[in-house]
Structure formats: C-alpha cells, structure tokens
Amino acid sequence: MLKDSVAITSWAAEDRPREKMLSKGKNALSDAELLAILIGTGSGNNTAVDLGRSLLQLCNGDLYELGKLRLPQMCSVKGIGPTKAVKLMAALELGRRRKEQQATKKQLVASSADGYNLIKSYYSDLDHEEFHIILLNRSNGLLGIRQISKGGLAGTYVDPKIIFKIAIDMGASGIMLTHNHPSGNNRPSNSDHELTRRIVQFGKLIEMPVMDHLIITDNGYFSFSDNGLLR
C-alpha cells in the first residue's frame, strides 16, 4: 500500500504536514500539504493530503483559481464538507487581502489601465453584477478597494451615500468607480450614464473627485474618463 493512502498518524513524524512545518519550515511543504493542515482530517481511505490534492485537481494546481472556487465546488470533493470548505475559503481570502495590502503600500492608480489591471480579478468569471470603488489618496496612491453592492445579471443597486461615506471614512481624496457587465458588452447603459452623472456631481459638492468609472468585462473595459463622459 502506498504511503499516500494510509492515515497521516502512521507516517514518520518528519513527513506529517504539521510536524514537517515545525521542523523544516513552511517553505518545505507542498501546496497539498499546506491545504491538509487547514483541512485537518481525512475521510475514509483518503488522508487530508489526498483531499488537498483533489482540491488542487479542480483548478489544475492553480492557487489563484483555487481562491475563486465557490462552496459547492469545494464540497464536490468527497470528504470536504461545508465546515472544511469555509475554513479553506477564509484562509484563501486572508491571503488575497494580504496581497491587496501589500499593493496598497506602493501602487499608483493614475490611469484607466491602472484601475483595470488592479480591479479585473475581482470580476473574473462572475455571472452577476457587482460594484466596487477604488479609493485613492492625493497622489493617486491606492488606499483600498471596497465592494458597494452585489446584484443580478441585469444590474445592481448603488447608493451614492454609501460610496461617499466609505470614501470619507477611509480618508480618500478621490475615487474610481467600477462595475461589471456579465453579458460581455462593455458599453454603458442609460442607467450607467445617469448614475455616473449623479455621483460625479455629488463628489464635486464635497470636493471628492470621481477619477473614472470603469465597466469591466472578460474581454476588456470601458472608461468614462477616456471617452470624455465624466461631467
């Protein structure tokens, strides 16, 4: 019988993920072994490492894609129930936030392309609309990204008061609006134009300029600023 098929407790101490991390450091562990520590226990004839490998197979070993898996997808692996899946999703979200905070310390958002490259991963493969804002300091440095709303296929409700409350609380000097079109059509609708006009006008009243409004699709983006539509 292969070692992979037996209980982790019967492995040599130096081969168990937790003990291996303690003795050799986190860099010595494979992706599957790191996942096994979060998973905790195996199921049936499968060890926690086996379950980690099965999860990685769902995304061809791509950790970025693993972070996008939803609860039902994770639970499709036999032995991964909702409790284990939620724990894994929480750990992956912490990793994403850590990366975002690292970017915040040094990233400038001075153009529509900068904004698109920063935000596009937030909208990857979504089948519904979401609205996020990018918060900037006086030097166009990134302060953070915040979700404003989540809707359906045809739209999402956005309250301008919430946008500016978040911006003020974060000490922002400017904001960039972003939302996605799951249809793949990046042209702004009449409601997109009207919402942008209202937010831009309110921003002028409180000296919180709207730098751009980006409509994101899987194939690219549309910029209100680049097209002279911020007014």
Residues whose CB is less than 8 angstroms from the CB of residue 143 and which lie 6 or more positions away in sequence, other chains included: 104, 135, 136, 137, 170, 171, 172
The domain that contains 185 carries what CATH number?
A: 3.40.140.10
Report the number of distinct structural domains present in the chain: 2
Instruction: Give the integer Cα–Cα distance in Å for 149 and 50.
Output: 38
pLDDT of residue 94: 87
User: Is there a single domain that holds both residue 116 and residue 91?
Assistant: no
Is the pLDDT score of 207 beyond 90? yes
Q: What is the pLDDT of residues 131-143, one digit of tens each?
A: 999 999 999 999 8
pTM of the model: 0.58
Kindly indicate the confidence band of residue 216, based on its pLDDT and cuts at 50, 70 and 90: very high
- Secondary structure string (H, E, C) spanning 34-84: HHHHHHCCCECCECHHHHHHHHHHHCCCCHHHHCCCCHHHHHCCCCCCHHH
Q: Please indicate, yes or no, whether residues 43 and 150 belong to a single structural domain of this protein.
A: no
218 and 113 part of one domain: yes
Predicted confidence (pLDDT) at residue 8 exceeds the cutoff of 80: no
Residue 41, number of CB atoms within 10 A of its CB: 12
Contact 215, 188 (CB under 8 A): yes
Q: Look up the domain containing 136 and give its range.
A: 107-223
Q: Do both 111 and 136 map to the same domain?
A: yes
pLDDT digits (tens, 9 = 90+) for 52-78: 999 999 999 888 888 888 999 999 999
Domain boundary among 60, 82, 102: 102
